[in-house]
Amino acid sequence: MNSELVKTKASTLPPTLQWVGGIDGFLRLIDQTKLPVEEVYFDCNSVEQTHDAIYRLVVRGAPAIGIAAAYGVSVAIGTAMKEQADARKAALAAIDYLATSRPTAVNLFWALDQMRVVVNEATDQELADRVLQKAKAIHEQDRQTCAAIGQHGAPLLNGCRNVLTHCNAGALAASEKGTALAVIYAAHELQPELHVYADETRPLLQGARLTAWELARSGVDVTVLCDNMAASLMQAGKVDAVVVGADRIAANGDAANKIGTYPLAIVARHHGVPFYVAAPVSTFDRTLADGAGIPIEQRDAREVSHPYGTQTAADGANIYNPAFDVTPAELITAIITDQGIIQPVNAANVAKTIGLS
């Protein structure tokens, strides 16, 4: 996409996900596998299409896949009604099926657990309507959550000129604004000169493709760099802070995020650069004492060996493709949540901020 086209684009972003119609409606997603070159939509008219959209990262990012899965339960009920099948049975089967789409982001399971409660409580007559209303409520709650994360986090970037981020934790990873980018958007409103370095984030390039697209469309000055360039940038004193998202945070503050986050935290600590994680309370997994138990998604080898269909790894080579890594709490300066700032990052402060339940 040429820079002129980007400059003429509206600063508002298209909705990451939206429900179209009533209880017999469908879930419409912007197809993130096509961005930034094509702005096209992927409609989920079945639970299988919803599961596929989550697995293929048509929709991605911890909050967004939770919201998509919630709507996926409504899609399953709509299908059952059309087929005159047992809608409650279909909804419960959809919840179990959608839980198999991706293992790391706890928001997926947090959302599905809430949907299961509604499905079990609703009468037959109110089932379809109540499930859809719950999915919409989770969607709306996330809008508020992202805004709160932005407001809590912006002051931490006071005086920062250059902020580095990894992957995409923006509007495309949530309902709108996102988590790490919500902080950046809020800081940018106060400091229009704020500049962002976006790690391209191999192998799927969420930073180059999605974060740069969001920020450029939103009028935030952004520079894309290869992941292996971040260390020398910090060594040169060109990074004032790092802000990233998270997919699952253990009770002691250990945080799973896109692969490549952990080395970024090490380098940031070595160079005295503040390292912030931004995440809603729904990203915390209270059942895990530390990050050792966080399931790490292993993805298809071809994402590494044949990026975008072009073979780059030699035949006969094995491929290692974990989608996430875990950054220990002691390397995180603060966790920015919708309920406030966790700093220093330890189990006591996590429990105080997110509550124990």
Ligand X SMILES: CSC[C@H]1O[C@H](OP(=O)(O)O)[C@H](O)[C@@H]1O
Active site residues: 247
Stretch that binds ligand X, among 19-27, 85-93, 152-160, 241-249 (CB under 6 A): 241-249
Binding piece for ligand X, criterion CB under 6 A, among 79-87, 174-182, 185-193, 233-241: 174-182
Minimum CB separation of residue 78 from ligand X in Å reads: 26
Is 343 marked as a binding-site residue? no
Q: For the window 299-338, what string marks contact with ligand X as x by the rule CB under 6 A?
A: ------------------------x---------------
Q: Tell whether residue 260 is a contact of ligand X (CB under 6 A).
A: no
Choices 67-75, 233-241, 244-252, 348-356 (CB under 6 A): range interacting with ligand X:
244-252
The residues near 39 (Cβ < 8 Å, ≥ 6 apart) are: 14, 30
| Interaction of residue 178 with ligand X, rule CB under 6 A | yes
Between 83 and 300, whose beta carbon lies closer to ligand X?
A: 300
- Distance CA(227)–CA(260), nearest Å, equals 8
- Distance from CA of residue 41 to its chain's centroid? 18
Least gap, CB of 284 to ligand X (angstroms): 13
Residues with Cβ within 8 Å of residue 234, at least 6 apart in sequence = 164, 267, 268, 270, 271, 273
Contact set for ligand X, span 61-120 (CB under 6 A): 61-63
Give the number of residues in contact with ligand X, rule: CB under 6 A: 18
Half-sphere exposure (Cβ direction) of 170: Cα atoms closer than 13 Å? 29
* Residue 276: φ, ψ to 5°: -110, 140
CA 167 – CA 169 distance, rounded (Å): 7
Beta carbons within 8 Å of 42's beta carbon, 6+ residues apart: 28, 29, 30, 31, 49, 53, 58, 59
∠ CA(203), CA(14), CA(284), 5° rounding? 60
Which is closer to ligand X, CB of 109 or CB of 131?
Answer: 109
Counting contacts by CB under 6 A, is residue 254 touching ligand X?
no
Among 73, 77, 98, 174, indicate the residue that binds ligand X (CB under 6 A): 174
User: 351 Cβ partners below 8 Å, 6+ apart?
Assistant: 251
The verdict on whether residue 158 carries a ligand-binding annotation is no
At a CB cut-off of 8 Å and minimum separation 6, what does 37 contact?
A: 1
Residues 159 and 187: their CA atoms lie apart, in Å, by 10
Report the binding-site residues for substrate: 60-62, 102, 206, 257-258
Report the binding-site residues: 60-62, 102, 206, 257-258
Binding site for ligand X (CB under 6 A): 57, 60-63, 167, 169, 173-174, 178-179, 206, 244-245, 247, 257-258, 323
